[in-house]
Structure 1
Amino acid sequence: MQVVNWLPRTELPFAAPSRPELLETPEPEVEAVAPVLPAAAAHAPAQPAARPAERMKIEVPRPTPATGRPAAKPAEDAEEAPPVVRPAPVPPPRFALQLLRAGRCLLLVELPTGEPFQSRDPAYLLLKDMLRAAGLPDAPQIVGEPVRWPLLVRSSMDQGPEAARDFVQGFLSVRMEEAPCAFVWLIGLPAVRFAGEADAEAFNRELQIEGLGPAWALPGLELLMEEPQRKGAVWQAMRRLMARWKESNE
């Protein structure tokens, strides 16, 4: 029956005395009961757990250089725009040209000294020889005053190479409208450059000038006198082109 201890209700005769610890009645065990909360407290929302306090961010001022120099700018500000390079103004060219007429040819001649031709000037005498060799009248007629450039010494107007070219070509065009010509002689580098839009490499060659027609580029009279060896090329070119103005004279 699995009885560990058994105590009789009455003292049995001739029985051995009972042990006192067996006669002690154990105290009943008390179960732990959860405390009963009030109804309001039971339905109240649970309080969130307290969050740890956030640390305040403290701005630490950066130390400025002791020299007092401003702080370095960002890379975008440091890259400055490149300076605008303006082209240097081109000084106005300086020349003097005289227009003459011989037969049906117009001659735009560089004035070696800048002054009008005189009858005994060596340059003018050389020009007369060239006209006779070309079969043209050796007493050319002067047309108008010399063309001097720049027009005004002190002026803010544009007097550069392009303005000089437009002026010379316009001057020639007006004179050709007054009296048509068959051929134009451009004698001297300024005449070749600003009337024929060419350079010294065009000497002794025929040019076709838009709006002006055919022209012959020649070295200047003074250059021919200083370098006589150039005259041979001039005579050869003259023989090739002579038929152009001779046919128009007939």
Structure 2
Amino acid sequence: MSIQSNIQDIRTRLEAACQRSNRDPNQVRLVAVSKTKPASQIEEAARAGQQLFGESYVQEFTDKREQVRLPVTWHFIGHLQSNKVKYLRGNVSMIHSVDRLSLAQEIDRQWQKIGETVDILLQVNLADEESKSGATEEAAEDLARRLATLPHLRLRGLMTLPPYCDNPEDVRPYFAQLRHLSERIAALNLPDVHMTELSMGMSHDFEVAVEEGATMVRIGTAIFGEREYP
């Protein structure tokens, strides 16, 4: 199947998941995870109507950003080292993977240099998996309070990467857990913190994520095929 037909298939499945959960399909955005994929495939997806792309590696992103000529929106979704934030400055509209105060402070410092603000998500490691980044659920509320004090970033929600399970239903509790945590942080009424985004769900489990409230699903394999490593 072509990238265009893959995107159409995913959108059809997204709409069906929204219908099952009485949600407006316009409330859910598809983030095409284009890491390890060439600029030509990103442009093919863009010509098929896909506008939002997620990258995970800073150097790869900076290279591809120069190569992609069509107007697209970039999100950074991967683990981010503080010393590489400067390469993202002004070039991404959202960072999904903010998991510690020191990283947030560096993002704030870099965007201050250009007099702008950037939307961020707080990444939460709900299963406390050592192999994955993310704040613990217990630390998330306090971290959100601290993020609210940084003037050049805007906390807009949460992101998680739950354990992989062959049966998507086994992951549903993690998606529900993230939604409940988002509601608790929203109830804190922190200044300029709007918990409107839940970035959760990938190629194998995005329909369950949508049913549990996802506003962004991060899908790579189901669009572009199996991952290619440089």
TM-score by structure 2 length?
0.29
Q: Could you say which structure has the greater relative contact order, defined with CA pairs below 8 angstroms and 6 or more residues apart? A: 2
Structure with the higher helix share, 1 or 2? 2
TM-score by structure 1 length?
0.27
Larger Rg: 1
